[in-house]
Amino acid sequence: MAWVAEWGTGPVGTGSGGEGPAVAGPGHRVPANAVATAVAGGRPVAATAGQDGLVRWWDAVDGRPLGTFEAGRYTELAIAVVAGRPVVLTVGDYDPRFVRDPETGACLWRLPVDDATSVTVCHPGGRPTAVTGHEDGTTRLWDLARQCATGPVLTGHDQAVRAVAAGVVDGRPLAATSSGMDADQSWDRDVLVHDLTDGRRLARLPAATTAAVNALALTTVHGRAVVATGDWRGTLRTWDVRSGTETGPAPTPHRGMFGALAAGEWAGRPVLASGGDDGTVRLTDLATRTPPAPDLRLPGRPAGIAVLPGRRLLAAHDHGLVLLAHHPGP
């Protein structure tokens, strides 16, 4: 079995110490903060945000740069497809510009509030809906087609909501949220799970024993909603939302500060992709708790990961962006 860097920056190493080719390609001049992906017109696209204050728009198949625009230095982002058109959602730095043209950065819609700190997208009833966390501890919903607030305002956090994940399970849209601050700075370290239809709190997942949760993923395993959490010490945990209890065994932790987390489908199986401060990217099959592919080593700390079709991972790291494909052995 082997990992291959189809485009991006390298070199890329495997967990066994092997090293893939260094591939010249796209990147930020400074570390990337985040990556988001979507499929538009049948083709995967990606957006990355860097500490240079720029958001870059890519063709995720071949790595072609499609556009660049200015945003804040600490921008969080997501991608939505609205009326067949891909848009980039940006939040952070108290900037109300929210829905942006991905190629030019032109603002298509401003939020009526400017304190959004995190963002993701889900599709209840097929409607593109943004879920944003805010400095005042609330989580809000936005109908992207109608450009208006929708649904209940979610409460329960005493600190800013800096991590949010959302998805639809059994026809019900859910969101998991966390304040995501360091343990020494936050007294609000539980993860909350809400039903986005009526605002009901479905679970309060106990605070991490090591440090505050700074990354979340929400997915479905055997028909049940599962939340994955990653904290500042590199610990990974998974939770059954219905029972509010931890499932096990826990995925293998990372060394150093936790960097990135994403859930997706890998050869028809539910997987968790995680990245640590040591540059390691790891896959965990959430049904079997086994790795479907070997660990790999990036040339920098992963700040964002996305799982793409065809056994592929898109990872933003300290030195750029790389598309990795896994080819099973005979």
User: Does a structural domain hold residue 134?
Assistant: yes
Residue 56 has pLDDT above 60, yes or no: yes
Calpha distance 225→165 (Å, rounded): 12
For the chain, give the percent of residues with pLDDT over 90: 60
Q: What is the 3-state secondary structure (H, E, C) of 180-194?
A: CCCCCCCCCCCEEEE
Element (H, E) at 280: strand 280-285
List, in order, residues 6 or more apart from 17 with CB less than 8 Å away.
none
User: Does a structural domain hold residue 26?
Assistant: no
Kindly indicate the confidence band of residue 130, based on its pLDDT and cuts at 50, 70 and 90: very high
User: Does a structural domain hold residue 287?
Assistant: yes
C-beta atoms surrounding 150 within 10 Å: 16
Arithmetic mean of pLDDT, 104-125: 96
Least-confidence region, from 28-42, 106-120, 193-207, 270-284: 28-42
User: Does a structural domain hold residue 183?
Assistant: yes
User: Does a structural domain hold residue 150?
Assistant: yes
Q: What's residue 29's pLDDT?
A: 54
Amino acid identity of residue 199, one-letter, is G
Cβ contact 293:285 at 8 Å:
no
Higher pLDDT, 95 or 259: 95
**Count of domains for the chain:** 1
C-beta atoms surrounding 245 within 10 Å: 12
User: Does a structural domain hold residue 22?
Assistant: no
Q: What is the CATH number of the domain that holds 307?
A: 2.130.10.10
- Residues 135-185 have pLDDT tens digits of 999 999 999 999 999 999 999 998 899 999 999 988 899 999 998 765 455
Question: Considering Cα of 278, then 279, then 280, then 286, what sign does the dihedral take?
Answer: positive
User: Does a structural domain hold residue 23?
Assistant: no
Query: What is the C-alpha end-to-end distance of the chain, expressed in Å?
Result: 8
User: Does a structural domain hold residue 320?
Assistant: yes
Q: 3-class SS at 304?
A: strand
Structural domain for 52, as ranges: 2-9+31-327
- Residues 298-309 have pLDDT tens digits of 878 888 899 998
Strand ranges of the sheet holding 213-221, from the earlier edge strand across to the other edge? 213-221, 224-231, 236-240, 245-247
Residue 266 has pLDDT above 70, yes or no: yes
Q: How far is CA 12 from the centre of its chain?
A: 21
Task: Quote the pTM value.
Answer: 0.91
